[in-house]
Amino acid sequence: MNVLVVNAGSSSLKYQLFDTATEKVLAKGNCERIGDGGLFTHKLPDNPDLNVKIEIDIPNHTEATKIVVKYLTDPVHGVVKSMDEIEAVGHRIVHGGAYLKESVLVNADVLEKLEGCRDLAPLHTAAHLMGIHGCLEVMPNTPQVVVMDTAFHSTMPAEAYTYPLPKKMCEKYHIRRYGFHGTSHRYVSGEMAKLLDKPVEETKIVTCHIGNGSSISAVKGGKVIDTSMGFTPLDGIMMGTRCGSIDPAIVPFIMEKENMTPAEVNNFMNKKCGFLGVTDELSSDCREIEEGYMKNDPICVDTFKLLAYQIKKFIGSYTAAMNGLDAVVFTAGIGENTPLIRALACENMEFYGIKLDAAKNDAAHHQGDSLEISAADSKVKVYVIPTNEELVIARDTEAIAKAL
Ligand code: ADP
């Protein structure tokens, strides 16, 4: 089945067209700067000579969808003959709130539930809805499916998702740990479970999705029992520009000292902290910090140590939560490409049964394959597994569309 996977942001619409029989990407691209000019890229993995990169007016998400369909069906740059050959569309949704706990076909009820998520993730939800409405308008007869980043975490027990705030307030405002990057944690934990020599029900895996945004999950028996991101994607470990968990009392303290409004402090914690803040605005990009680390720049050395220490603490606490550990997985931009962070996070973990093979770790870069980086005598397997959130979305979409 040909499934179009759509990831709509406020000013962008990324897409990939999958042939689910072979799980191959036939074409992929991005509509950027929607509502502010417009830049369109279209790539054909099997035919890069026919790739497209053009500046084109893209006033809204409906027009973006029209451009995507036009190029996918184009006689020269296209990969299908007509729109009918795009058999289903799968949408990535960041926040499914308390309502959407598994992938589902879009209908009026689902659209209403998504509207209900606006309060929890206003920017993301608004963008997703524009993407869905755009596709519904352009492809009214094609089944549309939503796949939520929060869904895989919905199995967490109450002790993992509850914040110690007044119960009534949590209920009134739906305040709880939701967790994010669920599609990624689901994919890499599933791949890891296949590599372990035991039934999935008995597996205990910590998945470390370390990218510009980062989260760590404890996946026991194939189900999430805890995850580091929380009510929003700001919780957990330090990220590119996000601070992660801090003493909550720091928030009103800064607001008072710096005369910030709630919106300003929220923006500050999301955009000015993490790597960017800790390195004194040197960079939010791990690669630049790695360069500094190699030159022994003390700020960069301290930043890497801080990140690695936070990862290490989550691995330790999730091992306690699962009463054991079979495997640790590193994935996403930093997890897949920065051996130094993996080495620092896993150093001095022999007590937990974790021992890396330095040469294998150094050699493991994003290659599309799952690569073991643990030493032969490590009790716990450590792997680098490139994530593939789009493939999970395509698989779920196919399963739902086929059942119609
Ligand atoms: P996002 O959360 O935006 O999806 P990514 O998972 O793409 O982020 O991760 C981006 C981070 O990964 C950046 O800090 C970047 O420096 C780091 N990184 C390191 N090496 C690479 C690489 N070869 N390709 C992409 N990102 C890399």
How many Cβ atoms are within 10 Å of 359's Cβ, its own excluded?
Answer: 10
Atom of ligand 1 nearest to the CA of 209: 6
- Residue 69 tokens read as 């369909």
Weakest-pLDDT range from 149-158, 238-247, 361-370 = 361-370
Is residue 355 within 8 Å of residue 375, measured between CB atoms? yes
Structural domain boundaries in the chain? 2-148, 198-389
pLDDT at 179 over 70: yes
Q: Which residues are catalytic?
A: 149
Q: How many CA atoms lie within 13 A of 287 on its CB side?
A: 3
Report, as an integer, the average pLDDT of 307-321. Answer: 98
- Residue 177 tokens read as 């740990």
Is residue 175 within 8 Å of residue 165, measured between CB atoms? yes
CA 192 – ligand 1 centroid, Å? 21
Give the residue, out of 184, 285, 365, with the most ligand 1 atoms within 8 A of its beta carbon, to mutate for a pocket test. Answer: 285
Find out whether the beta carbon of 335 lies less than 6 Å from any atom of ligand 1: no
Cα dihedral 138/142/148/151 (nearest 10): 170
CA 346 – ligand 1 centroid, Å? 20
Give the residue, out of 228, 270, 271, 287, with the most ligand 1 atoms within 8 A of its beta carbon, to mutate for a pocket test. Answer: 287
CA 337 – ligand 1 centroid, Å? 8
- Residue 350: partners with Cβ closer than 8 Å, 6 or more residues away: none
Q: Quote the CA–CA distance of 38 and 68 in Å, as a whole number.
A: 13
Give the residue, out of 242, 286, 365, with the most ligand 1 atoms within 8 A of its beta carbon, to mutate for a pocket test. Answer: 286
**Strand, coil or helix: 90:** strand
How far is the CA of 41 from the CAs of 92, 255, 378, in angstroms? 19, 41, 44
| CATH T-level fold of 198-389 | Nucleotidyltransferase; domain 5 (3.30.420)
Report, as an integer, the average pLDDT of 140-161. Answer: 97
CA 264 – ligand 1 centroid, Å? 26
Query: If you count DSSP H runs as helices and E runs as strands, how many of each does the chain have, helices first?
Result: 15, 14
CA 371 – ligand 1 centroid, Å? 18
User: pLDDT tens for residues 101-125?
Assistant: 999 999 999 999 999 888 888 888 9
Single pTM value for the model: 0.95
Domains 2-148 and 198-389 share a fold: yes
- Residue 78: partners with Cβ closer than 8 Å, 6 or more residues away: 27, 71, 72
Find out whether the beta carbon of 334 lies less than 6 Å from any atom of ligand 1: yes
Find out whether the beta carbon of 188 lies less than 6 Å from any atom of ligand 1: no
Find out whether the beta carbon of 212 lies less than 6 Å from any atom of ligand 1: yes
The closest alpha carbon to 177, from 98, 274, 273, 266, belongs to 98
User: pLDDT tens for residues 223-266?
Assistant: 999 999 999 999 999 999 999 999 999 999 999 999 999 999 99
User: What percent of the chain clears pLDDT 70, i.e. is strictly above it?
Assistant: 100
Q: Quote the CA–CA distance of 174 and 71 in Å, as a whole number.
A: 41
Report, as an integer, the average pLDDT of 361-367. Answer: 81
End-to-end alpha carbon distance in the chain: 13
Find out whether the beta carbon of 74 lies less than 6 Å from any atom of ligand 1: no
CA 285 – ligand 1 centroid, Å? 7
Q: Give me the amino acid identity at 254.
A: I
Give the residue, out of 334, 387, 388, with the most ligand 1 atoms within 8 A of its beta carbon, to mutate for a pocket test. Answer: 334
User: Could you tell me if residue 274 is left (phi over 0), alpha (psi between -120 and 50 degrees) or otherwise beta?
Assistant: left
For the chain, what is the radius of gyration of the CA atoms? 22
- Taking the domain 2-148, which CATH number applies? 3.30.420.40
Find out whether the beta carbon of 365 lies less than 6 Å from any atom of ligand 1: no
Report, as an integer, the average pLDDT of 280-287. Answer: 96
Q: Quote the CA–CA distance of 274 and 237 in Å, as a whole number.
A: 9
Q: By alpha-carbon position, which residue is closest to atom 26 of ligand 1?
A: 333
CA 140 – ligand 1 centroid, Å? 36
pLDDT at 54 over 70: yes
Q: Quote the CA–CA distance of 144 and 62 in Å, as a whole number.
A: 15
Beta strand pairing status for 327-331 and 381-384? parallel
- Residue 91 tokens read as 């949408």
- Residue 223 tokens read as 């189900």
Find out whether the beta carbon of 240 lies less than 6 Å from any atom of ligand 1: yes
Find out whether the beta carbon of 120 lies less than 6 Å from any atom of ligand 1: no
Mean pLDDT of the chain: 96
- Residue 166: partners with Cβ closer than 8 Å, 6 or more residues away: none
Find out whether the beta carbon of 357 lies less than 6 Å from any atom of ligand 1: no
User: What percent of the chain clears pLDDT 90, i.e. is strictly above it?
Assistant: 95
User: pLDDT tens for residues 326-349?
Assistant: 999 999 999 999 999 999 999 999
pLDDT at 366 over 70: no
How many Cβ atoms are within 10 Å of 54's Cβ, its own excluded?
Answer: 11
Find out whether the beta carbon of 285 lies less than 6 Å from any atom of ligand 1: yes
pLDDT at 98 over 90: no
Residue 120 confidence (pLDDT):
85
Atom of ligand 1 nearest to the CA of 365: 23
pLDDT at 208 over 80: yes
Residue 122 confidence (pLDDT):
84
Residue 10 confidence (pLDDT):
86
Q: Quote the CA–CA distance of 374 and 386 in Å, as a whole number.
A: 16
Length of the chain: 404
Find out whether the beta carbon of 291 lies less than 6 Å from any atom of ligand 1: no
Q: Give the residue carrying structure tokens 């890891």.
A: 192
